[in-house]
Amino acid sequence: MLSKQEVTEIMGANLRRIREERQLTLKELASMLEITPGYLGLIENGKRRQTAYLMFMVGEVLDIRISELFIKSPYAGYTG
């Protein structure tokens, strides 16, 4: 079973991968999510956990299924 920290890191790595695939900057996505770029950076680096509301907003803004954030893959940047 994965730890809370591992899940946080996987989610952050997947969020970064999807953001970069969409060619969005931290500032652009943060603005869409109504959070600061610094906070988004902490989430992407696995330093902060996302709230259910923020995960919902990520899904809406990026037009993805929230489950895509939980995929454990080295392609997402997670190697744990």
The per-residue DSSP string of 18-43 comes to: HHHHTT--HHHHHHHHTS-HHHHHHH
Answer whether CATH 1.10.260.40 is correct for domain 4-73: yes
> Hey, where are the domains in the chain?
4-73
pLDDT tens digits along 28-72: 999 999 999 999 999 999 999 999 999 999 999 999 999 999 988
pLDDT band at 73 (very low <50, low <70, confident <90, very high): confident
Q: Which two tokens stand for residue 24?
A: 């969005």
What are the counts of helices (DSSP H) followed by strands (DSSP E) for the chain?
Answer: 4, 0
pLDDT tier, 74 (very low <50, low <70, confident <90, very high otherwise): low
